[in-house]
Amino acid sequence: MSPRIAIFTHSTNPRGGVVHAMQLAEALCRQGVDATLIAPALSGQYFFREPSCPSLLIPAAPALSTVEMVESRIGEIETALRGQRFDIHHAQDPISANALANLRAEGAIPGFIRTVHHLDDFADARLAAWQDRGWHTADRLLTVSLLWQEKLCALSGQHVHLTGNGVDHQRFSPGEKAQTGQKTFLSLGGIEERKNTIGVLRAFLQVHALRPDTRLVIAGGASLLNHSAAHGAFASVLRDATPEAQAAVQVLGVVDDDAMPALYRSAHTLVAPAFMEGFGLCPLEAMSCGIPAIVSSIRPFTDHLAAHEALWADPADPSSIAAAMARSLNDAERARLSHLGPQTAARFSWDKVAEDHRALYETFAEECLADA
């Protein structure tokens, strides 16, 4: 009998780590593995799309602050798992990892695996401690990029396995592009400091002054963290813009997952010059749709994308981002990147990611049995 695998993620929102967990569980199930996707959810909440694998939503209670929410979620996951029986427990986030660490400490589970997508800088000491404990206590560490593999190896002094990411090539394909009079720059992830949304806005205002036929669309933003300061700073910059530029900026909020491929195809260029990423799934999804992507000229992007495969920008310099946006308006450059994008994205496969995990799970299960 194949082992039962539980894959945990911190929420049902369409964030990179949640997408990774869902795509991994689905790919494993396609390969005949018994995998279940698990996340906490408030009453009435569901995954951002219906997963094609078994799933379990753990009832979660509302909380007044991020600290209270994290503490509550750890206890809720821990309690829910006492009535479940899985052979392998795999956390994709620090919240579920802390719950699993508690269960292992009391002997309820033999151990757990942790994938680290990236580490945040938390000002709150309790959040920082939970984040550290969430990977320090794991029996096996995995990560999605060479940058974070090197960082975690240095921090932990142990081997960290590189798993990578994939692209759903069936959903994200070139298809039919929308024909509009305006050229749309698309920014995903909502308004967040880490996503550099304000830098994108400042860059767009420079471009729009020369090309009034352009517009900026910002989508996404579902997060468990508080990004009110970034929203305030964004609004302040936009208020100082001309009325024409203000009208050319649209903030959509969270978009239905079914609409995401069409949203990519409606864009002229994806603008994703983040200050920090674990990997960066959105640029690959855009490329798979034949949409050029502007990315930061820093790691992890420089590790898995070649110089000719994207448009590059210094995330700390809005003028550099604006220059990349202007380059994307060149018809020949856009045609080159549109043709190259699907070929670039084809290197990244969820099925390959799942195959890699299967080998890791088998080894981990054997070690757990040997220690039992």
What pLDDT, on the 0 to 100 scale, is given for residue 188? 95
Predicted confidence (pLDDT) at residue 189 exceeds the cutoff of 80? yes
Tell me how far apart the alpha carbons of residues 10 and 372 are, in angstroms, rounded to a whole number.
29
pLDDT greater than 80 at residue 371: no
Residue 178: pLDDT over 80: no
| Of residues 193, 208, 158, 144, the one with CA closest to residue 350 | 144
Query: Cβ distance 27 to 108 under 8 Å?
Result: no
Render the burial of 213-234: b for 16+ CB within 10 Å, e for the rest.
ebbbbbbbbbebeebeebbeeb
User: Which of the four pLDDT bands, split at 50, 70 and 90, describes residue 192?
Assistant: confident
* Residue 324 scores a pLDDT above 70: yes
My answer on whether 85 and 202 are in the same domain is: no
Query: What's the chain's length in residues?
Result: 372
Residues 206 and 338 in one domain: yes
Give the bridge partners for 184, in sequence order: 215
Higher pLDDT, 371 or 296: 296
More confident residue, 15 or 67: 67
Instruction: Compare 227 and 236 and report the one with higher pLDDT.
Output: 236
**Can you tell me the distance from the alpha carbon of 234 to that of 363, in angstroms, rounded to the nearest whole number?**
48
- 226 — pLDDT class (breaks 50, 70, 90): confident
Q: Which range (22-36, 51-65, 218-232, 333-347) has the least confidence? A: 218-232
Q: Dihedral angle at the C-alpha atoms of 64, 121, 100, 7, nearest 10 degrees?
A: 100
Please check whether residue 79 lies inside any domain of the structure.
Answer: yes
Beta strands 34-41 and 4-8 are parallel
Are residue 94 and residue 232 in the same domain, yes or no? no
Residue 190 and residue 130 in one domain: no
The pLDDT assigned to 262 comes to 95
Answer whether residue 171 is part of any domain: no
Read off the pLDDT of residues 244-263 as tens digits, 9 standing for 90 and up: 999 999 999 888 999 999 99
Looking at residue 276, what is its pLDDT?
92
104 part of a folded domain:
yes
Q: How far apart are CA 224 and CA 203, in angstroms?
A: 28
**pLDDT for residue 21:** 97
For residue 108, the domain's CATH number is 3.40.50.2000
Q: Same domain for 201 and 321? A: yes
Give the range of the structural domain holding residue 336, as residue numbers without chain letter.
183-345
Residue 267 domain-assigned?
Answer: yes
- Are residue 9 and residue 107 in the same domain, yes or no? yes
Q: How far apart are CA 358 and CA 31, in angstroms?
A: 9
Residues 353 and 341 in one domain: no
- Is residue 48 within 8 A of residue 219, CB to CB? The reply is no
Strand order from edge to edge, sheet including 269-272: 249-253, 214-219, 183-188, 269-272, 293-296, 311-313
Residue 293 φ/ψ, nearest 5 degrees: -125, 135
**Same domain as 220, residue 154:** no
User: Cβ-count burial of 247 within 10 angstroms (0-12 exposed, 13-18 middle, 19+ buried)?
Assistant: exposed
Indicate if the pLDDT at residue 203 is higher than 60. Answer: yes
Cβ(8)–Cβ(39) under 8 Å?
yes
Q: Are residues 338 and 365 in the same domain?
A: no
Cis peptide before 300 (omega within 30 of 0): yes
For residue 296, the SS3 value is strand
The pLDDT assigned to 264 comes to: 97
pLDDT at 111 over 90: yes
Residues 320-348, mean pLDDT to the nearest whole number: 97
pLDDT over 90 percentage in the chain: 84
Average pLDDT value over all residues in the chain: 93
Q: Which among 116, 196, 113, 114 has a CA at the least distance from the CA of 151?
A: 116
Residues 80 and 208 in one domain: no
Give the range among 26-30, 131-135, 163-167, 180-184 with minimum mean pLDDT: 180-184
131/229 same-domain check: no
Q: What is the pLDDT of residue 15?
A: 87
Find all residues with CB under 8 Å of 113, minimum gap 6, and list them: 88, 89, 90, 91, 138, 139, 140, 142, 360, 361, 364
Q: Are residues 293 and 317 in the same domain?
A: yes
Phi and psi at 142, nearest 5°, equal: -125, 155
pLDDT band per the 50, 70, 90 thresholds, residue 183: very high
pLDDT at residue number 254: 86
In the prediction, which pLDDT does 295 show?
A: 98
What's the confidence (pLDDT) of residue 86? 95
Pairwise CA distance, residues 299 & 120, whole Å: 16
Domain count, the chain: 2
127 assigned to some structural domain: yes
Confirm whether 172 is domain-assigned. Answer: no
pLDDT of the residue at 222: 64
* CA–CA separation, 168 and 135 (whole Å): 28
Determine which of 1-15, 111-125, 148-162 has the lowest per-residue pLDDT on average: 1-15
Mean pLDDT (whole number) for 47-69: 95
User: Look-up: residue for tokens 């995995």?
Assistant: 142
- Please tell me the predicted confidence (pLDDT) of residue 167: 96
Residue 366 confidence (pLDDT) above 90: no
Instruction: Check whether 150 has a pLDDT greater than 70.
Output: yes
Backbone torsions φ then ψ of 321, nearest 5 degrees: -65, -40
Provide the pLDDT for residue 331: 94
In a domain? residue 175: no
Q: Is residue 312 part of a domain?
A: yes
Closest CA to 227 of 55, 13, 33: 13
Residue predicted with more confidence, 69 or 181:
69
Mean pLDDT of 337-361: 96
Compute the distance between CA of residue 285 and CA of residue 341 in angstroms, rounded to an integer: 9
